[in-house]
């Protein structure tokens, strides 16, 4: 949510920041802005996407610049509300990701001396800094930070010094170390082209980038010695590599990512499986797509391990916190590792001394660092807002854990390897063409329904979510038997309904459910290893028996992609959404 980048060095900071903002657009893209330091601060702000910006001549060369791409929280999408925000005298500029919860109170206090120019919570920050500038820039930032409540990642510059100051509490910031140059950004891909040597800033730390980099503890003011690490992601992974969209690239990457997700250290998996087995209550906590992976995995655990798992949406977890004890195991699942609700749940778990074992994709993310143990998905950077490859990797890793819990790690691995090898079949040109044909057929429908039973019920939820966010068609997922408990009233002649029919114990009932919908005029799209007279349109998938969720997901992702394309949607940057939800 909101992307931040700053640069100080010998190269042209404005072009590096603009380039970085383009790579961060998945975090927010309703407006953007940049402040660079020359004789005075040059500030450019625009509504819309940075790619649409033509007038490059407006960007003066500079060695220090900060930039921001916005996902609006406080205040409409206007130029005035776009970041950077400045002090009234325009000598200080600040970009911010997060929410300042006490901004109204702070604003009231400041209004005597300041005329505010935006509706944002952020603007109080440069104004507070301005109030304290007599103490010096660094001190003024520190004093101001102490007044802020809420979550933030902040980067500030000042007209009179060659300095960038950055601080975080709850929202991500990572420093990039180059040769005689420094970067600061919300995420590594923003500067990966220049360096892969990074330092992750922790909550309560302040970075001061001058000729050299210094990091301080905000409370004690003590300088901290932090080691840099090398990130293994390559630039190529963070680029489209010839695909028209990141989403399509990431769908196709599933030919490899599943294998990577299960290539974990056996001993680690067995150790965690033992923890799950002895744990007194296990919670899977996640949001959105990752929640659907957790829900699917709870069925897998029930079937394979005969173990009950509590699956809770991270945002709803405060209602469950009182069940936590020292013996509880909390397993947060998150692609970004920065989702605010997930991090809050982890904080609650740690307060109750529950053990936290994270499943996460982004290396060095807050979740990874705040958990007792973490498993990485190794899916590489996922840039498209709609999550695809991370989802199937989560399914694969959680399935592996379920098998390990029942002492069948090798069997699980073999099954997952076989399933992974079948992914290419769904991604053959003939299969994708079939899905394109379907997308053309149903692109003007107002509603799409999706049903699945057992392990494929959460896949129906996930398929509906993908269709909604990428194509903006209303879609809803149901358990096979549930549509007739009300929503069947919406089925009209030709209403598309996707049915996942796996070769398992739910097959007959799923076919009956499809028939019930068909009898009311529904247009049945069967996703199955075998055609059936119930289907009006058939999407053939390889038979993967108990691992059908992984396989069934992929045609649904492709359908969402092609529906979005047919309807002219912005595939990688879905309307109103952002990749990493760092606000509650």
So which residues are the catalytic ones? 2, 579
Q: Do 60 and 12 meet the contact criterion of CB atoms below 8 Å apart?
A: no
Minimum gap (Å) between residue 125 Cβ and ligand F6R: 26
Strand 537-540 to 523-528 pairing: parallel
How would DSSP label each residue in 194-212?
T--EEEEPPTTEEEEESSS
Choose the stretch contacting ligand F6R; rule: CB under 6 A; options: 282-290, 372-380, 405-413, 415-423.
Answer: 282-290
Minimum gap (Å) between residue 73 Cβ and ligand F6R: 15
At residue 200, φ and ψ (nearest 5 deg) are -85, 125
Is position 581 an interface residue for ligand F6R (rule: CB under 6 A)? yes
Residue nearest to ligand F6R (CB): 288
Q: Which of 20, 33, 288, 549 binds ligand F6R (CB under 6 A)?
A: 288
Q: From CA 343, how far away is CA 314, in angstroms rounded?
A: 8
Query: What is the CB-side half-sphere exposure of residue 575 using CA atoms within 13 A?
Result: 11
Bridge partners, 37 (sequence order): 41
Q: Do 451 and 498 meet the contact criterion of CB atoms below 8 Å apart?
A: yes
Nearest CB to ligand F6R, comparing residues 354 and 580: 580
Minimum gap (Å) between residue 410 Cβ and ligand F6R: 29
Nearest CB to ligand F6R, comparing residues 140 and 290: 290
Q: Which of 86, 144, 289, 553 binds ligand F6R (CB under 6 A)?
A: 289
Q: And the tokens for 478?
A: 């149901």
Nearest CB to ligand F6R, comparing residues 272 and 290: 290
Nearest CB to ligand F6R, comparing residues 308 and 347: 347
Minimum gap (Å) between residue 474 Cβ and ligand F6R: 16
What would the x/- binding string for ligand F6R be over residues 449 to 488, using CB under 6 A? ----------------x---x-------------------
Nearest CB to ligand F6R, comparing residues 336 and 513: 336
Q: From CA 223, how far away is CA 201, in angstroms rounded?
A: 13
Q: From CA 528, how far away is CA 537, in angstroms rounded?
A: 11
Is position 374 an interface residue for ligand F6R (rule: CB under 6 A)? no
Hey, which residues between 324 and 353 contact ligand F6R (CB under 6 A)?
334-336, 339, 342
Query: Number of residues in contact with ligand F6R, rule: CB under 6 A?
Result: 15
Q: From CA 578, how far away is CA 367, in angstroms rounded?
A: 18
Q: From CA 480, how far away is CA 532, in angstroms rounded?
A: 17
Choose the stretch contacting ligand F6R; rule: CB under 6 A; options: 100-108, 164-172, 284-292, 560-568.
Answer: 284-292
Minimum gap (Å) between residue 571 Cβ and ligand F6R: 12
Q: From CA 533, how far away is CA 202, in angstroms rounded?
A: 58
Q: Strand (E) positions, 401-547?
A: 447-452, 474-479, 496-500, 523-528, 537-540
Instruction: Pick the closest to residue 68 from 85, 51, 90, 56 (CA basis).
Output: 85
Nearest CB to ligand F6R, comparing residues 65 and 314: 314
Is position 387 an interface residue for ligand F6R (rule: CB under 6 A)? yes
Choose the stretch contacting ligand F6R; rule: CB under 6 A; options: 153-161, 269-277, 286-294, 536-544.
Answer: 286-294
Is position 386 an interface residue for ligand F6R (rule: CB under 6 A)? yes
Minimum gap (Å) between residue 536 Cβ and ligand F6R: 28
C-beta neighbour count of 374 within 10 angstroms? 18
| Alpha-carbon dihedral angle through residues 203, 580, 294, 234, given to the nearest 10 degrees | -90
Q: Do 528 and 500 meet the contact criterion of CB atoms below 8 Å apart?
A: yes
Minimum gap (Å) between residue 417 Cβ and ligand F6R: 25
Is position 231 an interface residue for ligand F6R (rule: CB under 6 A)? no
Minimum gap (Å) between residue 270 Cβ and ligand F6R: 26
Nearest CB to ligand F6R, comparing residues 170 and 526: 170
Q: From CA 240, how far away is CA 232, in angstroms rounded?
A: 18
Q: Give me the helix-helix angle, 389-405 and 266-278, nearest 10°.
A: 70
Which residues fall within 8 angstroms of residue 136, CB to CB, at 6 or more apart?
none
Is position 2 an interface residue for ligand F6R (rule: CB under 6 A)? no
Is position 312 an interface residue for ligand F6R (rule: CB under 6 A)? no
- Contact positions toward ligand F6R, by CB under 6 A? 287-290, 334-336, 339, 342, 386-387, 465, 469, 580-581
């Amino acid at each position: 949510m909101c992307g931040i980048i700053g640069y100080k060095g010998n190269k042209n900071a404005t072009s590096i920041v603009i380039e970085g903002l383009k790579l961060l657009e998945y975090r927010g893209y309703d407006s953007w802005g940049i402040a660079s330091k020359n004789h005075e601060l040059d500030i450019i702000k625009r509504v819309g996407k940075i790619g649409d910006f033509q007038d490059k001549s407006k960007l003066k060369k500079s060695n220090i610049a900060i930039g921001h791409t916005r996902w609006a929280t406080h205040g409409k999408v206007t130029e005035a509300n776009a970041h950077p925000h400045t002090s009234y005298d325009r000598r200080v500029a600040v970009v911010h990701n997060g929410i300042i919860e006490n901004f109204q109170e702070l604003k009231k206090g400041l209004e005597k001396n300041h005329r505010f120019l935006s509706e944002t919570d952020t603007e109080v920050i440069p104004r507070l800094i301005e109030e304290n500038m007599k103490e010096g820039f660094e001190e003024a930032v520190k004093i101001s930070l102490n007044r802020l409540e809420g979550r933030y990642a902040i980067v500030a510059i000042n007209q009179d010094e060659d300095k960038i100051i950055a601080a975080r509490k709850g929202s991500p910031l990572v420093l990039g170390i180059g040769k005689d140059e420094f970067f600061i950004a919300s995420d590594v891909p923003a500067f990966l082209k220049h360096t892969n040597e990074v330092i992750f800033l922790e909550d309560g730390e302040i970075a001061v980038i001058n000729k050299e980099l210094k990091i301080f503890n905000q409370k004690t003011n003590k300088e901290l010695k932090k080691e840099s690490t090398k990130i293994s992601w390559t630039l190529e992974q963070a680029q489209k590599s010839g695909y028209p969209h990141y989403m399509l690239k990431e769908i196709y990457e599933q030919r490899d990512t599943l294998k990577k997700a299960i290539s974990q250290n056996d001993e680690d998996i067995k150790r965690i499986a033992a923890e799950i087995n002895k744990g007194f209550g296990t919670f899977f906590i996640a949001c959105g797509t990752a929640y659907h992976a957790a829900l699917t995995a709870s069925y897998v655990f029930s079937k394979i391990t005969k173990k009950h798992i509590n699956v809770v949406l991270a945002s709803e977890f405060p209602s469950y916190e009182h069940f936590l004890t020292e013996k509880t195991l909390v397993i947060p699942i998150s692609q970004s590792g920065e989702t605010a609700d997930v991090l809050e749940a982890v904080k609650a778990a740690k307060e109750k001394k529950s053990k936290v074992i994270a499943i996460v994709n982004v290396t060095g993310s807050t979740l990874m660092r705040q958990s007792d143990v973490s498993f990485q998905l190794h899916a590489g950077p996922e840039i498209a807002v709609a999550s695809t490859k991370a989802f199937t990797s989560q399914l694969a890793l959680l399935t592996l854990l379920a098998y390990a819990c029942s002492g069948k790690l090798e069997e699980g691995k073999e099954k997952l390897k076989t399933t992974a090898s079948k992914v290419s079949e769904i991604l053959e040109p003939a299969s994708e063409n079939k899905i394109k044909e379907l997308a053309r057929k149903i692109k003007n429908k107002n509603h799409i329904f999706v049903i699945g039973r057992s392990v494929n019920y959460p896949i129906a939820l996930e398929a509906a979510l993908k269709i909604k966010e990428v194509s903006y068609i209303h879609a809803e997922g149901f358990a096979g038997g549930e549509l007739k408990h009300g929503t069947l009233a919406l089925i009209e002649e030709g209403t598309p309904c996707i049915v996942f029919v796996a070769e398992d114990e739910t097959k007959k009932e799923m076919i009956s459910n499809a028939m019930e919908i068909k009898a009311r005029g529904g247009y049945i799209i069967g996703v199955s290893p075998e055609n059936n007279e119930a289907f009006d349109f058939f999407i053939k998938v390889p038979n993967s028996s108990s691992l059908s969720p992984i396989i069934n997901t992929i045609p649904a992702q492709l359908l969402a992609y092609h529906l979005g394309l047919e309807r002219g949607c912005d595939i990688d940057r879905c309307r109103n959404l952002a990749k990493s939800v760092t606000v509650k």
